Chains A and B, each alone.
Chain A
Amino acid sequence: MSINAKTMLQLEHVGFSYSSGIGLFGGTRIPALKDVSFAVREGETLGLIGRNGCGKSTLLRIMTGIFKADTGRVVRNCNRISLLSLGVAFDRLLSGSDNLILSCMLLGASRKEALAMHDDIVAYAELEDFIDQPVKTYSSGMKARLGFAVGMQMQADLILIDEVLGVGDARFRKKATETMRERVKSDQSVLFVSHSMPTVRSLCTRVIWLEQGRIHMEGEVDEVVNAYETFMQDARGVGSGLRAKGRSPSK
């Protein structure tokens, strides 16, 4: 990865917090991200790892513009960013086919383009027999397959993938990983969130480790993943009362 590669998206000192209460004057602020800065470069597959609740999904939402950062800023040098995540945004009452069209359009396709892609997406998702049924009848695996198929067919400058390779049955998972691998090879810029370290090792060119809303480590895949794996093993050893950044687990 050359340093001179074009930056697709850059985060500068991004901070974000949730409010614990509901309502206009609700509750205390719970920080989710603190002073996060990094860049996604053109053509790279950047891995994002970290424990549950470390702020990964929040970060992806800020990158796509669904959330606005409380502090810092996001510089985007690309036109189309698509977010692929498990909580796929489907209308339960509409058919799979209708949802497919709407999803494509929400990701930036025109209605014509969406219609043109329709059959390919259905075939990829292997949902030919169910595509006219309302999405509320779908299993979570079927929904995830449809979501993944839409996201993969749509041409985007930057794809953000949140944990979706773990979906569907073993066969679909293999196919999805294969597609991902092709995309990665073909100079697609990808930000890839996963808990599966073997997948991160095989797909990513660089890794960022997020811990308690901050970047804990950033760098070469093996270096970061090894450190993370050691950290997680220690964490398992002493329970959950473990701290990040400079402090060693209290053994």
Chain B
Amino acid sequence: MLTIGQRQFWDIVLTKLRLNLRSEVSKTYLGYLWWLLEPALFVAALYVVFGIFLKTRTDNLTVFLAVGMVTFSWFARSVSNGSRSLDTAGSLTNQVAVPKLLFPLVVVSQDFVKQTLVFVALFLFLFFMGFKMTHVWLSLPFLIITQWLLILAVAMVFAAIVPFLPDFRYLVSTGLTILMWGSGIFYSYEDVIIAKHQDLFLLNPMARLIKNYRQVLMDGNWPDWGALGLIALFAMVVIVSMLWVYKKLDTTYARLALQ
């Protein structure tokens, strides 16, 4: 049929994902390396500033920074890539009738596959620093899936806006930088933020997720299931609403690509 069926759609998503990843591997190893390198460089820089110059007294500062940075840079990079996905697909959207969900979904999934390698590197780093794998690590898949849903939700919203307002992508990158400062990557919010503002701080889902990653990976405690559930639920509500929006605006995006 003209509108591609459900099964065909998922078949296309998987094929495109596989082909994109394969072409990336054959083309450049640097693409993958960069995913490892960026958080590593950030951790190094932050360590110099906070650990050495400012003599921050946090136990295991490098691990603390690494966990925060690895998870946050996944979010930032994938949201940023995803937000451009529908706009850059313009040349395709006005040639083929295809559900527009394809574009953010493929980009966000592609980033997810690459991120799994970064997680493996992070775990190796943790072992190297003397951390042990405990049974609470079983909760990691839930943490990661929750974050993936959050990324997809945010990316779908931004991707839907950018074709209408191309300059919005600058706002996205500024917003992500601001969010980085507000997510407690290089400070422990309990020490820095006064008690009555801590709840406000934790309204930021990335701050909440990073806190939970550290809880599991560094302290050996179970994550805060209620908070995770809430974030996942919020993300799914956004995703479902955006599916409706995408359906509604499907042909509008094809038209925008030509205007």
Query: How long is the Cα–Cα vector from A91 to B164 in the complex, in angstroms?
Result: 22
Evaluate whether A106 and B23 lie within 8 angstroms (CB atoms) in the complex, with A66-B251, A89-B92 already known. no
Interface residues of B in 1-49 (CB under 8 A from A): 1-4, 8, 11-12, 15-16, 19-20, 22-23, 27
Is chain A's interface secondary structure helix, strand, loop, or mixed overall?
A: loop
Taking CB atoms, residues of chain B closer than 8 Å to A24 are: 164-165
* Interface segment out of the listed B95-103, B114-122, B182-190, B215-223: B95-103
User: In the complex, are the beta carbons of A67 and B27 less than 8 A apart?
Assistant: no
Q: Give the size of the chain B interface in residues (CB under 8 angstroms).
A: 31
- Please tell me if A142 contacts chain B, counting CB pairs below 8 Å: no
User: In the complex, are the beta carbons of B164 and A108 less than 8 A apart?
Assistant: no
Write out, one digit per residue, whether chain B residues 61-96 have a CB within 8 A of any chain A CB (1) or not (0): 000000000000000000000000000000111111
User: In the complex, are the beta carbons of A102 and B16 less than 8 A apart?
Assistant: yes
- Please tell me if A23 contacts chain B, counting CB pairs below 8 Å: yes
Give B20's nearest chain A residue, CB to CB.
A94
- Contact partner, A105, options B2, B11, B94, Cβ 8 Å: B11
Interface residues of B in 232-259 (CB under 8 A from A): 251, 254-256, 258-259
Nearest-neighbour CB distance to chain A for B148, whole angstroms, equals 23
- Contact partner, B11, options A22, A107, A111, Cβ 8 Å: A111
Taking CB atoms, residues of chain B closer than 8 Å to A66 are: 93-97, 251, 254
Nearest-neighbour CB distance to chain B for A251, whole angstroms, equals 35
Give B161's nearest chain A residue, CB to CB.
A24
- Please tell me if A64 contacts chain B, counting CB pairs below 8 Å: yes
- Contact partner, B15, options A26, A93, A105, Cβ 8 Å: A105
- Please tell me if A201 contacts chain B, counting CB pairs below 8 Å: no
- Contact partner, A89, options B1, B15, B95, Cβ 8 Å: B95
User: In the complex, are the beta carbons of A101 and B19 less than 8 A apart?
Assistant: yes
Give A162's nearest chain B residue, CB to CB.
B95
Taking CB atoms, residues of chain A closer than 8 Å to B23 are: 93-95, 98, 134
Evaluate whether A110 and B8 lie within 8 angstroms (CB atoms) in the complex, with A65-B2, A76-B2, A105-B15 already known. yes
Nearest-neighbour CB distance to chain B for A246, whole angstroms, equals 30
Give A63's nearest chain B residue, CB to CB.
B2
- Please tell me if A153 contacts chain B, counting CB pairs below 8 Å: no
Give B163's nearest chain A residue, CB to CB.
A22
Evaluate whether A67 and B15 lie within 8 angstroms (CB atoms) in the complex, with A81-B2, A110-B8, A134-B23 already known. no
Give B26's nearest chain A residue, CB to CB.
A95
Nearest-neighbour CB distance to chain B for A151, whole angstroms, equals 11
Query: How long is the Cα–Cα vector from A173 to B225 in the complex, in angstroms?
Result: 64
Give A110's nearest chain B residue, CB to CB.
B11
- Please tell me if A6 contacts chain B, counting CB pairs below 8 Å: no
User: In the complex, are the beta carbons of A106 and B98 less than 8 A apart?
Assistant: yes
- Please tell me if B175 contacts chain A, counting CB pairs below 8 Å: no
Nearest-neighbour CB distance to chain A for B62, whole angstroms, equals 36
Nearest-neighbour CB distance to chain A for B60, whole angstroms, equals 40
- Please tell me if B229 contacts chain A, counting CB pairs below 8 Å: no
User: In the complex, are the beta carbons of A67 and B255 less than 8 A apart?
Assistant: yes
User: In the complex, are the beta carbons of B254 and A61 less than 8 A apart?
Assistant: yes
User: In the complex, are the beta carbons of B27 and A93 less than 8 A apart?
Assistant: yes
Query: How long is the Cα–Cα vector from A26 to B258 in the complex, in angstroms?
Result: 14
Nearest-neighbour CB distance to chain A for B244, whole angstroms, equals 16
8 A-B residue pairs with Cβ-Cβ distance under 8 Å, sorted by A, are: A66-B97, A67-B254, A67-B255, A76-B2, A89-B96, A98-B19, A105-B8, A106-B98
CB-based closest 6 A-B pairs: A89-B95, A65-B2, A68-B251, A89-B92, A65-B97, A98-B19
Other A-B pairs, 10, CB within 8 Å; known A98-B22, A108-B4: A21-B259, A22-B164, A23-B165, A65-B3, A66-B97, A76-B2, A89-B95, A91-B92, A93-B23, A101-B15
Q: Write the residues of chain B forming the contact surface with A, with a CB cutoff of 8 angstroms.
A: 1-4, 8, 11-12, 15-16, 19-20, 22-23, 27, 91-98, 164-166, 251, 254-256, 258-259
